[in-house]
Structure 1
Amino acid sequence: MTDLFTSRPWLRHYDPGVPATLDLKPEPLPVLLQQAAERFADATAIAFYGRTLSYARLWAETNRFARGLLGTGFQPGERVVILLPNIPQSVIAYFGVLLAGGIVVLANPIFDAEGFAHEVRDSGATTVIALSMFHRLVEQVRAELHFPRLIYTNLKEYLPSSQRLLFTLLRQEQEGHRVPDAQASQALWFQHLVAAGQDGELPTLDAGDPAVILYTSGTTGAAKGVLHRHASLYINAYQTRMWYADAEEGNERVLCVIPFSHAYGMTACMNVGIALGATLILLPTFETHNVLHTIRRERPTIFPGVPPMYAALNEVREVRKYGLSSLKSCLSGAAPLPVEVQEGFERITRSRLVEGYGLTEAGPVTHANPLRGARRAGTIGLPIPDTEARIVDLETGQDLPPGAIGELLIRGPQLMAGYWNNPEATAEALTADGWLRTGDIARMLPDGYFQIIERKKEMIIAGNYNIYPRDLEEALYEHPTVIDAAVVGVPLPNGKTEVRVFAVTRPGERVSEAEVLAFLRERVNLPVVPDKIEFREALPRSFIGKLLRRRLVEELLSREQRS
């Protein structure tokens, strides 16, 4: 054990009860749900606007859906695109497709036609499962691409009976949930498949089988399909579950507002929640006051989220009246967590909010700060059980000592099998001995905590200096009127790079450009400091809340070309 502590100094800082390694046999992913149904049959698995499903009911409907899908001629190995928000059908479809031997392709519910068509085409999907309100998008793509099976489901199907009637009367037509008759007659319907799936054999699954494809473009380039086997996602669910060392299995309640279509929501909300036998409190979208009302009504104990979500809650006046004391553990991911946001959220909730880290290619969770022990603000924390991490020189690839800045590499059982039908990209990302090149510039502190400095592709090279946007953004967050910030490098015609700053201030509060720049210069000791700031009402972010710096750069370049 001494040698292990020497090679992995982070193990000394694990919370009590978090193991250094898992004695766990990989299983097919549906085993997560099967085990929860066996252990907590009568416990509530899903809470959805007042409607609940027990684990026994959820497992039964998942099995029926799998059999109903096979009854349509579906064959194991076929790819199924799931275009659903966080509703009960998304959980049933996810595990049902896997039970039928299929490969799940998780699609972004706010896609445009081009992005959706790319995923259908690239994955070779034969089936699409979509919410009825997305029918215009689906039919537009179906006119271009042929996929044999289209399965629609309606938001009202799992609402309580009273809300189902109101939905039909007030929302169905207005919000476009009703599929036109001509199109509806050419599609299959989710509830019909569940009702039809009473009999039939299910295929035998193996932990090594392909399970899920998640598309990611990182910060630039065309979206690539990240292929995970059952084993990697099953293991990552338990690696993350063990981080909640004091969780009470069968009694926790997870607020699921991170989309399941994103690797973080899929694992940290759905799969980890099911591994805990927890109640999944489903919200299809993040709307600040709806989230607060849900917290007051449903009393969640675990809230995985992203920094903009916690920041939005911090800004609500009299937020404590919503009774946030039920929250115990909040794990922030997908983007850097500003210290100001972290401290503000903990003040109003008295819960523990810690920053973690992951990549779609890694299941996604690889690092997290301890939920009960010593955390390091501004770091991503420690590698989770059975995860190795090291820092290598950006040029030579040689290992670097603690404190040195280089590229972060990760190795562990949660890593992807590779990029779907893209061996060249796979070879570039994965080394021959199984390490994932993350593309993130980082350093390991002497005690084993890791700190992300910047994405390699987003580091700004200004003259002879390297500028890390996060350093400037963290300083901007300290200003009392700034609630969001972005720093980008803009290439100039003369070959140099200019540092540009964008900031969002609190509604109704004004501050001068000169004041913020003076504030920034006082706190950041850099050879290159921006000389102007552009104020915005909002910054471009992905559906998961990740800052999209490249859109700001593209907009600036386009604007300057027109001028």
Structure 2
Amino acid sequence: MLNEKTVGEIVKEAARKFPDIEAYVYPEHGIRKTYKEFDKETDELAKAFIGMGIQKGEHVAIWSDNKREWLLSQFATGKMGAVLVTVNTNYQEKELEYLLQQSDATTLILCESFKGTSYLDIVLAICPEIIHSEKGNILSEKFPHFKRVIVMTDNEYKGMYSWAELLSHADKVSDDTLENALKSLHNEEVINIQYTSGTTGFPKGVMLSHKNVVNNGQLVGDYIYLTEEDRLCIPVPFFHCFGCVMGTIASVTHGTTMVIIEQFNPGKVLQIVQDEKCTALHGVPTMFIAELNHPDFKQFKLSTLRTGIMAGSICPIEVMKKVITDMGASEITIAYGQTESSPVITQTKTDDPIEKRVSSVGKPHPAVEVKIIDPLTGEDTPTGVPGELCTRGYLVMKGYYKNEQATRSAIDPNGWLHTGDIAVVDEEGYIDITGRIKDMVIRGGENIYPKEVEEFLYQHPKVQDVQVVGVPDPKYGEELMAWVILKSGEHITSDELKEYCKGKISYHKIPKYIEFIESYPMTASGKIQKFLLREMSKEKAKV
């Protein structure tokens, strides 16, 4: 049976069932709140959003690491109906500008800075009108929908609301008004837009409904047997589905305590799992690798750890085994999916045989259909024969925001979402992901589409042509290699080209390797043979 509740209603239900259980803990700040308190806090914030003039269906972008304000905003918007637009913390000017324009965001909630990058400087660079605007009434030709900026601080900035100023608007709104807003929401309505890179090089806004994310969180939690006695450590970023569906929503649907880490640090994770007696831990493979290889790993007492999820990129078998044996997470599971599927399609079970738990991505969740087809004919492939994995059911996104063409390319007329991933199913129904039809590169859990990086590098005045491919990497799973043809008579070093990228595109999209070449391997019909470039890249990178 699917869960029919909205994102706001699952908080209310948790507060009724588990009022005195800790909802969330921020160990770094000594903050602890019960589900009863969490419900009250998110009510107040929802009223503040309404009092500020934010309407149901308005797009509210949020840009920060895993701060408490992010968590509260997710569930407060879930109560009053604004659509939360999640922003990658690595974004720079061009990427933020594109997202604010494409998403029609009216509001941006942000922290002051992240890892030495001033978010305030970036916002003012793309929208200088903010400084001269009345708070809540930004007038910008470039961003016609954009009205307000809210900063996660009590510091004052011209043209922007402080967090305290935001909260002061709650007094204007009655409890009845909020209750009516909550009751007006339907679980089929969009509540979240997450941007994922597309093959065109421009990110696409994946529209997810209450039904999408509540049920996916519910099922993910069911698979690892979460209860109100569990404490889930969440070091994965909230702006990904891993953090805000498999982390926060999975916890709230089960009355589980969220133990939240603002920014991943392996030593910090181990310390907090020990001190907070966490029973579950989420992470992409690179996170688990960093934790296992921490110099003081053996000093930490992780005896409470039982389960968790490894996902985000292909999970190395040896790493999975070490998480089970050395960390003691004997019930760790692997999940597979993508943002467009809310995100999890398949997951291993805690009692699956060890071989299956380390070498497959499990079986489809309940209420989820999966088929593997020949990408050329569309016919189902036999057992053991690779093909494209397609999925259908409650989990399929509503579509890409303002991009009908891309939506039709992803979801066929029969409702099947075509993942672009190559998969194979065995006799027992376990699925293994063997590759990708598209050229997508997954670096440490971050999806990178080479075309986006290519289009950026094309802008350099000395570059004539560029092709980007992935190469295997022991730490991140994959790294980028760019093959560059320079314009006649030009010269530039790989370091200079990397320097050109810094501050303009996200650091994880900057190629680790840059090689210069006179011409590309081509087919007779003039198409570049990327598979040969990949082979050449492996040789060059000595992988």
Shorter-chain TM-score category? 0.7 to 0.9
Change (3 A) 1:240 1:400: same
Question: What is the letter of the counterpart of residue 63 of structure 2?
Answer: L
Query: Can you give the 5+ residue segments of structure 1 that lack an aligned partner in the other structure?
Result: 1-22, 158-177, 461-468, 477-481, 494-539
Give the aligned partner of residue 287 of structure 1: 265
Question: What is the letter of the counterpart of residue 371 of structure 2?
Answer: R
Give the aligned partner of residue 216 of structure 1: 196
Match for residue 84 of structure 1 among 59, 64, 71: 64
**SS in structure 2 at match of 1:325:** coil
**SS in structure 2 at match of 1:214:** strand
- Cα separation, 1, equivalents of 2:517 and 2:484: 12
Cα contact 1:258–1:544 (8 A) shared by 2: no
Change (3 A) 1:416 1:559: farther
Q: Does 1:259 align with 2:248?
A: no
Cα contact 1:320–1:349 (8 A) shared by 2: no
Give the aligned partner of residue 374 of structure 1: 353
Match for residue 389 of structure 2 among 397, 408, 419: 408
1:484 Cα deviation (Å)?
A: 5.4
1:145 Cα deviation (Å)?
A: 3.6
Q: Does 1:317 align with 2:295?
A: yes
Give the aligned partner of residue 192 of structure 1: 165
Question: What is the letter of the counterpart of residue 140 of structure 1?
Answer: A
Of all paired residues, the percent bearing the same amino acid is 26
Alignment length, in residue pairs?
Answer: 444
Match for residue 455 of structure 1 among 427, 432, 436: 436
Question: What is the letter of the counterpart of residue 189 of structure 1?
Answer: S
Give the aligned partner of residue 52 of structure 1: 32
Deviation digits for residues 89-137 of structure 1 (CA, Å, limit 9, x no counterpart): 1111111123222111011122111111111110100001111233222
Match for residue 406 of structure 2 among 419, 425, 449: 425
Cα contact 1:61–1:194 (8 A) shared by 2: no
**SS in structure 2 at match of 1:416:** coil
1:560 Cα deviation (Å)?
A: 9.0
- Cα separation, 2, equivalents of 1:409 and 1:225: 20
Cα contact 1:306–1:544 (8 A) shared by 2: no
- Cα separation, 1, equivalents of 2:506 and 2:235: 10
**SS in structure 2 at match of 1:272:** helix
- Cα separation, 1, equivalents of 2:431 and 2:200: 24
Give the aligned partner of residue 556 of structure 1: 515
Cα contact 1:307–1:335 (8 A) shared by 2: yes
RMSD of aligned Cα (Å): 2.8
1:138 Cα deviation (Å)?
A: 2.3
Match for residue 141 of structure 1 among 126, 129, 142: 126
- Cα separation, 1, equivalents of 2:353 and 2:57: 45
Change (3 A) 1:365 1:108: same
Q: Does 1:74 align with 2:54?
A: yes
For 1:141-540, list aligned pairs within 5 A.
141-143=126-128, 145=143, 147-154=146-153, 181=156, 184-198=157-171, 199-200=173-174, 201-202=177-178, 203=181, 204-217=184-197, 221-245=201-225, 247=226, 249-352=227-330, 353-375=332-354, 376=356, 377-458=358-439, 483=475, 486=478
Deviation digits for residues 246-301 of structure 1 (CA, Å, limit 9, x no counterpart): x3x21111111111110111111110011111111111111121112211211211
Cα contact 1:252–1:276 (8 A) shared by 2: no
Deviation digits for residues 197-234 of structure 1 (CA, Å, limit 9, x no counterpart): 14331222111211110000157721000001111111
Once structures 1 and 2 are overlaid, which stretch shifts more, 357-366 or 90-99? 90-99
Deviation digits for residues 139-160 of structure 1 (CA, Å, limit 9, x no counterpart): 2233264621111113xx8xxx
**SS in structure 1 at match of 2:245:** helix
So what's the TM-score if we normalise by structure 2?
0.76
Change (3 A) 1:225 1:558: farther
**SS in structure 1 at match of 2:336:** strand
Deviation digits for residues 144-184 of structure 1 (CA, Å, limit 9, x no counterpart): 64621111113xx8xxxxxxxxxxxxxxxxxxxx6xx5xx1
1:346 Cα deviation (Å)?
A: 2.1
Cα contact 1:390–1:408 (8 A) shared by 2: yes
Give the aligned partner of residue 41 of structure 1: 19
**SS in structure 2 at match of 1:349:** coil
**SS in structure 2 at match of 1:324:** coil
- Cα separation, 2, equivalents of 1:142 and 1:258: 30
Cα contact 2:103–2:401 (8 A) shared by 1: yes
Query: Can you give the 5+ residue segments of structure 2 that lack an aligned partner in the other structure?
Result: 114-118, 129-141, 442-468, 486-501, 521-543
So what's the TM-score if we normalise by structure 1?
0.74
